[in-house]
Amino acid sequence: MGSSSKRKGYQYEREIVKAFESAGMNATRAWGSNGKALGLHECVDVRVDIGDEHLYIQAKRRKSISSYIKPDDTVHMQVIREDRGDSYAVVKLETLIDLIKNGATKLNSTAKASSRNAGSQVHTEGEQAWDEI
């Protein structure tokens, strides 16, 4: 990876940390984008503390993301999977933060019936229900 790609990745990780911190949550960026610096798997770029639990994030920033992966502004998330694969939920970062902080009580304010807005995306994997986070 070239130095400009690394710099772009580091900057995005810092943006994610700031977004969670702005919402009053403790977030930590792994030094060198290596989760081993936090005692975690090397793929972890950011750790968010939620009470006694942790959310582990791997940040991926791209020049463009296929439009079919991005949730439309009229829905809260896009759920995707490959044939015979796991399902993934794609949500705007602000929606994920709202879900963690407030549960589903404020979701109606995040989906709009207007044109698509560009926003940060977080891909979460697994069968864990939102109310368990």
Domain boundary assignment for the chain? 3-57, 77-132
Q: What percent of the chain has pLDDT over 70?
A: 78
The predicted pLDDT at position 5 comes to 87
The predicted pLDDT at position 110 comes to 56
- Classify residue 25 by burial, with Cβ atoms within 10 Å: 0-12, 13-18, 19+: middle
Give the C-alpha separation, 72 to 75, whole Å: 6
pLDDT band for 126, please (50, 70, 90 cuts). Answer: very low
The predicted pLDDT at position 130 comes to 43
**Mean pLDDT, the chain, integer:** 83
Give the C-alpha separation, 37 to 31, whole Å: 6
pLDDT higher than 60, residue 32: yes
115: left (phi over 0), alpha (psi -120 to 50) or beta: beta
pLDDT higher than 60, residue 120: no
For range 64-84, the mean pLDDT: 93
Q: What pTM did the predictor assign?
A: 0.74
pLDDT higher than 80, residue 14: yes
The more confident residue out of 110 and 49 is: 49
The predicted pLDDT at position 132 comes to 43
The predicted pLDDT at position 108 comes to 61
Decide if 28 contacts 14 (C-beta within 8 A). no
The predicted pLDDT at position 26 comes to 96
